[in-house]
Structure 1
Amino acid sequence: MAVEGGMTGQLVSVVTLLGAAVVAVPLFKRLGLGAVLGYLAGGLAIGPFGLKLVNDPQTILHVAELGVVMFLFIIGLEMKPSHLWSLRRQIFGLGSLQVVVCAALLTVVGMAFGYSWQVSFVSGAGFVLTSTAIVMQVLAERGDIAAPRGQRIVSILLFEDLLIVPLLAIVAFMAPPDAAHAVTTTPLWQRLGVAALALGALVAAGVWLLNPLFRVLARAKAREVMTAAALLVVLGAALLMELGGLSMAMGAFLAGVLLSESTFRHQLEADVEPFRGLLLGLFFLAVGMSLDLSVVMRNWPLVLSGVLALMATKAACIYAVARLAKSSHAEAIDRAVLMAQGGEFAFVLFAQALAQHVITPEINANMTAIVVLSMAFTPLVVVVHSRMVRANPQGESMEGVEPVHDGQGSVIIVGFGRVGQIVTQSALLRGAEITIIDNDTTTIRDANSYGFKVYYGDGARIDVLHAAGAHHARAIVVCVDNPDAATLIAETAKEHFPHAELIVRAYDRRHALALVKTDADVVVRETFESALVMGRATACALGATREEADAHMDELRRRDNERFALEVSGGQFAGRDLVLHNMAEASARATHAGEAKAAAT
């Protein structure tokens, strides 16, 4: 019965954790506050300082740190050793510069609060260690991990992970004599030697052992064993680094890098991804649960002022270092906002400092609360910053961005996102002179680095379109993903440049109906044609011939055209929708001809 009661208690905790995530995360995402803040709020609500439904956040936190470990493994899979080597200056140059300057300034902040330099240094150094989990989650949600600015942030995070070893050694040197005898410490040279051996063993296993192992398992064709092997690699690398005195996340990252050129890379990523997402969410829940509200309430002036002072100082330092490294104003602000918090490795450093009697239990509790609050504030600050940037795009740096002027293109493309990039290729295949406009400076810089000339401008402004050459353009293609902006651009273009064929991307059916009123020549719903192509493939999979599948697609198009024409007053759009239908039909015929030719050869 005792065992049954214990299992029941554990099951209740699991159900509670899952319930908190299921309720809080969708709610916060609905409010536009992001998943991370939802997890933190859910953890705070059910934790020992909330509803007391779960009373052991530290145990959960230790288990959930594996989510960060797996996240770093997946990031490592995306970075080939050659690419990582190309980032060496950013990792050790930019990373060390930011860490050293921030640590010095944060130590000064601690001394301004009246603490000794030892306590101030430990507190400041702990706050320098940014939360890898929060930053990587935000970068992943924004799709910025592979972007140049995302790579610079990842480089700094990697350097901070490496920093935990020398910081722990410094804390040992700072310990008072009585604490040095009370706590057994190993010499620094021995720690460095063990760390080097662990790194060497991991690299050797990655180069000579892992790929042969996965080849053997692949021949066995045991799917569950491949998943077990993926987890073995991640957790084994993390354990090896932990035994070597390094961070588990660093071990997983290196394992991912060593397997980044393996033929099993995609399979490994698919196997680890479900565990990564679940454990990373559990990590954020545990961080929320570990926020001791009694400490916050008892020392709220100190805790609140500490959060504000440390976050503001760190953000200012990050911004200054980014600008010194010749990053744009917008990128520097974004990095400062994203990395201004303390991180999970601060808890490790504070625990070691407490054991070495460098800081007192009260300071440890206050600093832990400050770090947790800074982690909780970060997603909210990121959301506010994102909305401010969208509301005031003129505030972005125009460095390396050229406003549109004297355009001579026969095709004007407004918006250079996923759709705009494909449309551009189609126009280039026809030998057209194109002028591309976008109002996102980051997109423009990234496009320029790949050889595309994209100009800065608001496509809804007459003077911008005129400068782009709309007065003699043959076609104006609106590819922006904001329905309201697309409608406004279409209205402006049709009213002032009616000679140009106006082709507009519609978000959905309702948006397409709104675009009809602008008298656009062609309106393309972004999912309709792709869905028809998928439907055709499904019909073929069910045994239909190509001719039968084409007939199904034609029938579906005809019915949709009829319904669409009924929704438009007087059926005004029927002719133009028929044009779109004929274009798609011609494209389908060309595709079938190419397939038939390929089959014949």
Structure 2
Amino acid sequence: MTSLATAAALLAAAVLLVPLFKKLGLGSVLGYLFAGVVIGPSVIGVVHEPETILHTAELGVTLLMFIIGLELQRERLWALRRSIFGIGTLHLLVCGAALAALAWWANLRPAGALIVGIALAMTSTAFALPALAERGEMDSPHGRETFSVLLFQDLSVIPVLALVGVLGAAAGGDAQTQAIGWPALAAVVGVVLLGRPLLSLMFKFALKCGSHEIFTAAALLTTIGLAWLMTTVGLSSTLGAFLAGVLLADSQFRHELEASIEPFESLLLGLFFMAVGMGVNLDLLKRAPFAMLGLALAILLIKAVMFYLARRFITGAPDRLARPTAIALAVGGEFAFVLLTAAQSARLISNEEGEVIALAVALTMVLAPLLWIVNDRVIARWFVASDEPPPFDRIDDPGTPVIIAGFGRVGQIVGRVLNMRNIKFTAVDASPDHVDSVRRFGNKIYYGDATRLDLMRAAKVEQAQLLVVCVDNTEASLDIVRLVRRNFPNVKILARARNRIHLMELRDLGIEAPIRETFAGSVELAKLVLADLGEDAERIDRLVATFVAHDQEMLDKAQAVFRDEDKLIALSKTSRAELANILREDAEADGRSDNLAPEQQAEKEIRSATQAT
């Protein structure tokens, strides 16, 4: 089959199967793996040499590691140091020891069993992070902990490969494998010391060229060049890409680099998973299906259970942190293939043993999404009752004049102004993670869901002069207003509105003047736009004042019909025509005869800047 036909088959399989798997709740990664199995040599046979595609697709993992490195500014690395070296070490030791014991029980030599245990303890960065991102959990506590452990594993590849060399020397293995330690260390030290100034010079030169394509080429050269350098000294290409990202994490080019690399990374990462699927040896699986599936399942369960127990009973982490982290880290990793290949070269394991273990690692990637499904639909329900945080903190304030419900970016600004005037307030927020974060900065805040009547009573809302509703979720905001209106009718409520519909919902509940959180900022932005387009300051003020007054008038009219979408759309169109007429009359009063292009452009700019407010 021609290369064009192969490319078409790869894209067709991805386009057809990945959306289907996402719709079924199985995740895009499993969709890519299944697509690879289908078009691979074991099924349809569209691709007969998946190794060729895998070599190209591994660039996706390399680019992923570069982007991960870009996110690691020095401050963030320092903040994660305990998780990286503490939890990361715990995971590798506990899971590696358990899996090494299993390998030794399966008659592998002690040295080979040790390396196999470490290899199987490794987790796929290319699998775990996209899976967490797809679930919206990258910024959760277990998402950050998973990232820290994966980062530790990336860093641990250097000493582990050196260990393979030492053990290989004792076993009479490949000389290249034995000599892997010092060149690797020298390469890493050289990159760390010289990389940043040299890379900064290159990117400054690329920017001077004034071509986005040259800048993208420089970004790819950095990633691929350092990846190649690491492979020449026997290390992982992903480590080189990661180091490149870390070196540029604090540079002025970070955001532009991320935007340039991300499209390539996403496409090639999908191709990587398809190539892994193509490489699954279904003949071996057919000969011993239960043994291979059992081995893969054993790896998943041993890693998940051992880390969960260690995290719960050695470090005392709660279930809501330990369990999702253990599941995210249970899958096998791409570094396992690197270590298994090195172990075979060092004659620590046989080729047949390496093939069986590699297939088991690939199968863990197939089974891992199912582990998430079992957790979400079955296991999580067993732990909810016993491990839920208390419904709310004990509130010891004697009663304050202001209650702030929701202490995010809006609530905190209100609180800071009140602190400035020494006005006491009680702040509550429904996110325990956010509460912990805010408390670290010295703020007094209570955990609790303000939609609960018992929390409102505990906060003594009936004694407050004001309840300020700043929660981000619109439904929760409306529920709080309804609750307080019904049970504490004498308390005045001020509320933040996320958008026009939310504002009208709040007004419908009796809130006289909800504050649109982005309206004032958007109007100020529109004024700056007009100024940069050459309008004089006096006319800008008059134009914006006209717009604000007209917008308020439209809100008053829309209040009566906002639950009828057709009428609301018709009113919006009529309102735009009215505003155009007002601007036209204003221009004629000024004696302008430029066919109103500036006014119409100004009206368009203001409407664009405020359409989401």
Structure 2 counterpart of 1:562: 557
CA RMSD of aligned residues (A): 3.9
Alpha-carbon displacement from aligned partner over 1:239-285 (angstroms, at most 9, x marks no partner): 11111222222222222222223233333223222222222232233
Q: Tell me the residue number matched to 1:459.
A: 450
* CA 1:519–1:384: 2 relative to 1, 3 Å: farther
Kindly indicate whether residue 377 of structure 2 is the aligned counterpart of residue 369 of structure 1.
no
Map Cα deviations across residues 275-319 of structure 1 (whole Å, 9 max, x no partner). 222222322333333334444344232223223322222123323
Alignment counterpart, residue 327 of structure 2, candidates 337, 342, 358? 337
Matched residue, 2:585: none
8 Å CA contact retained: 2:161, 2:181: no
Question: Which amino acid in structure 2 is aligned with residue 73 of structure 1?
Answer: F
Distance 1:79 1:192, change over 3 A: same
> 1:406 Cα deviation (Å)?
4.1
Match of 2:436 among 425, 437, 445: 445
**SS across alignment from 2:463:** coil
Q: Number of aligned pairs?
A: 557
User: Is 1:548 the equivalent of 2:546?
Assistant: no
5+ long unaligned stretches in structure 1: 1-5, 570-601
Q: Secondary structure at the match of 1:459?
A: coil
- 1:37-56 equivalent positions in 2, closer than 5 A: 37-56=30-49
Instruction: Name which of 220, 223, 230 aligns with 2:219.
Output: 230
Give the whole-Å Cα distance in 1 for the aligned partners of 2:518 and 2:72. Answer: 32
Cα distance, 1:219–1:562 mapped onto 2, change above 3 Å: same
Shift of 1:533: 7.0
Does 1:315 find its partner at 2:282?
no
Report the CA distance between 1:236 and its aligned residue.
1.2
Aligned 8 A contact 1:536 1:550 in 2: no
Which residue of 2 is the match for residue 212 of structure 1?
A: 201
Is residue 260 from structure 1 mapped to residue 249 from structure 2 by the alignment? yes
511 and 47 in structure 1: CA distance in 2 versus 1, 3 angstrom threshold = farther
1:61 equivalent in alignment to 2:37 = no
Once the two structures are overlaid, the 10-residue window that deviates more, 36-45 or 385-394, is: 385-394
C-alpha distance 173-140 of structure 1, shift in aligned 2 (>3 A): same
Q: CA deviation at 1:466?
A: 0.8
Cα distance change, pair 192–353 in 1 and its aligned pair in 2 (3 A): closer
Residue 99 of structure 1 and its aligned partner are, at CA, apart by 1.2
- Give the superposition deviation at 1:495: 0.8
Shift of 1:346: 0.9
Distance 1:32 1:419 in 2: 34
Which of these residues, 83, 103, 106, is aligned with residue 99 of structure 2? Answer: 106
Looking at structure 1, the residues matched to 116 and 232 of structure 2 have their Cα atoms a distance apart, in angstroms, of 25
Partner AA of 1:213 in structure 2:
M
* Corresponding residue to 2:240 among 235, 244, 251: 251
Q: Is the aligned partner of 1:185 residue 2:185?
A: no
Deviation of the 1:170 alpha carbon: 4.7
- Note if contact 1:403-1:457 (Cα within 8 Å) is conserved in structure 2: no
Q: For the Cα contact (< 8 Å) 2:165–2:177, is it kept in 1?
A: no
Residue identity matched to 2:270: G
What is the distance in 2 between the residues matched to 1:42 and 1:549?
55
Question: How do 1:405-444 and structure 2 match up within 5 A?
Answer: 405-406=396-397, 408-417=399-408, 420-421=411-412, 424-425=415-416, 428=419, 432-444=423-435
Matched-pair contact (CA < 8 Å) for 1:131–1:342? yes
The answer to whether the aligner puts 1:301 opposite 2:290 as a matched pair is yes
Q: State how far apart, in whole Å, the 1-side matches of 2:458 and 2:358 are.
A: 56
**CA 1:244/1:330 → structure 2, altered by over 3 Å: closer, same or farther?**
same
> Which residue of structure 2 aligns with residue 12 of structure 1?
5
Q: Give 3-state SS (helix, strand or coil) of 1:254's partner.
A: helix
State how far apart, in whole Å, the 2-side matches of 1:348 and 1:194 are: 18
Q: Which residue number in structure 1 is paired with residue 129 of structure 2?
A: 136
Query: Does structure 2 conserve the Cα–Cα contact (< 8 Å) formed by 1:130 and 1:340?
Result: yes
**Native 8 Å contact 1:504 1:523 kept in 2:** yes
Question: Is 1:497 aligned to residue 488 of structure 2?
Answer: yes
Structure 1 length as normaliser, TM-score? Answer: 0.79
Distance in structure 2 (CA, Å) of the matches to 1:171 and 1:543: 68
Amino acid at match of 1:248: S
Amino acid in the other structure paired with 1:106: L
1:239 paired to 2:213:
no
Percent of residue pairs bearing the same amino acid type: 38
Which shifted more, 369-378 or 21-30? 21-30
Rounded to whole Å, the distance in 1 between the matches of 2:215 and 2:452 is 56
In structure 1, the residue matched to 2:66 is: 73
Aligned to 1:271: 260
Q: 2:460 aligns with which of 443, 461, 469?
A: 469
Q: Does 1:352 align with 2:342?
A: yes
Output the CA distance in 1 between the equivalents of 2:503 and 2:19.
Answer: 29
User: For 1:393 and 1:13, how far apart are their aligned partners in 2?
Assistant: 48
- Residue 526 (structure 1) shift: 6.9
Residue 278 of structure 2 is aligned with which of 286, 289, 292? 289
8 Å contact kept, 1:165–1:245: no
> Amino acid of the residue matched to residue 434 of structure 1?
F
Matched AA of 2:357: M
- Structure 2, unmatched stretches of 5+, are 565-613
Amino acid at match of 1:230: A
Q: Distance in 2 between matches of 1:172 and 1:197?
A: 16
In the alignment, structure 1 residue 156 sits paired with structure 2 residue 149: yes
Residue type matched to 1:446 in 2?
Answer: S
Distance (whole Å) between structure 1 residues aligned to residue 208 and residue 112 of structure 2: 57
AA partner of residue 210 (structure 2): K
C-alpha distance in 2, partners of 1:446/1:257?
A: 25
Deviation at 1:130, TM superposition (A): 1.0
1:200 to 175, 178, 189: 189
Contact 1:396 1:441 in 2 (8 A): no
Q: After TM superposition, give the deviation of residue 464 of structure 1 in Å.
A: 0.9
- Residue 392 of structure 1, CA deviation: 7.3
Aligned to 2:574: none
Aligned-partner Cα distance in 2 for 1:386–1:522: 42
Q: Is the 8 A contact 1:536 1:553 kept in 2?
A: no
Equivalent-residue separation in structure 2 for 1:411 and 1:18 (angstroms): 58
- So what's the TM-score if we normalise by structure 2? 0.77
Equivalent residue, structure 2, for 1:594: none
- Could you tell me how far apart the structure 2 residues matched to 1:390 and 1:458 are? 21
Query: How many Å separate the matches in 1 of 2:27 and 2:413?
Result: 30
Q: Displacement of 1:455 after TM fit?
A: 1.7
User: Per the alignment, in what secondary structure is the counterpart of residue 453 of structure 1?
Assistant: coil
Give the secondary structure class of the aligned counterpart of 1:471.
helix
Contact 2:297-2:367 within 8 A present in 1 as well: no
Residues 469/231 of structure 1: CA separation in 2 closer, same or farther (3 Å cut)? same
**Most deviating of 76-85 and 512-521:** 512-521
Structure-2 change in CA distance of 1:155 and 1:462 (3 Å):
closer
CA distance in 1, matches of 2:30, 2:93: 29
- CA offset at residue 213 of structure 1? 2.7
Cα distance, 1:556 vs structure 2: 4.2
Q: How many Å apart are 1:30 and its aligned residue?
A: 4.4
Q: Look up the equivalent residue of 1:271 and give its one-letter code.
A: S
**What is the CA deviation profile of residues 440-490 of structure 1, one whole-angstrom value per residue up to 9, with x for unaligned ones?**
322222222233333222322211111112112233344445555444333
Counterparts of 1:371-410 in structure 2, within 5 Å, are: 371-382=361-372, 385=375, 395-396=386-387, 398=389, 402-406=393-397, 408-410=399-401
